[in-house]
Amino acid sequence: MPLNPDGSTNWQIAEARIVNALGLRFTAESGRFFWDFGDATTANGESFQLITDSKATQHKSYAVNRDFMREMADKTIQTGKRFALHIQFQQENRKDQDWVVIGLDDFAELVTSVNDPVVAELPELTYEQEEAFTVLEELAERIKDAETKSDVYQAIAKLRNGR
């Protein structure tokens, strides 16, 4: 992989860009571990929890793969966070262009929260509620059909986030 004059690679530049722009933290070894996947994530306690994966290209286009998006969204939902794909179009002698791909429900929630900034704080979950979510997540894990499994995890996330 070609190095830039400062010794960084193109994907490192992209990852650093989203970490700095959103105040995220890098994941361990750029998401190589199942327990800390993706390239960057929000700190616990943030109101809009994210896990991001960054892609960098010097081409004029980048293909977004439906299976990859579904897999990452499913894994992310299981953590109680949302997935965002960061794409950086790197251009020689021009400013890089950064784009983020997120699910429509997440985008709608962001737009709504900006347009109506008075959002009530959700109370902490009780022990019984946490137990109920654990049971729901264990049951969801047993579902074989990927689409149904994803729908169930999305429903659990909406319940968890108070929507």
Same domain, 141 and 110: no
Nearest to 131 by CA among 120, 139, 123, 143: 139
Q: Judge if pTM exceeds 0.75.
A: no
Write the pLDDT tens digit of every residue in 21-34: 878 777 655 545 44
Point out the domain boundary residue: 119, 137, 153: 119
Q: Is the pLDDT of residue 162 over 70?
A: no
Same domain, 43 and 114: yes
Q: Is the pLDDT of residue 163 over 70?
A: no
Same domain, 30 and 109: yes
Residue 102, SS3 per DSSP: strand
Bridge partners for 99 per DSSP: 87
Same domain, 82 and 32: yes
- Residue 112 parent element (H or E): helix 104-115
Residue 84, SS3 per DSSP: strand
Write the pLDDT tens digit of every residue in 51-107: 888 888 888 899 999 999 999 898 888 888 899 999 988 877 777 789 999 999 989
Instruction: Residue 40: give the domain boundaries.
Output: 1-119
Same domain, 35 and 101: yes
Structure tokens at 7: 């010794």
Question: What whole-number percentage of the chain has pLDDT above 70?
Answer: 80
Q: How many domains does the chain have?
A: 2
Provide the 8-state DSSP code for 38.
S
Same domain, 66 and 139: no
Same domain, 84 and 139: no
Cα–Cα distance, 71 to 61 (Å, whole number): 22
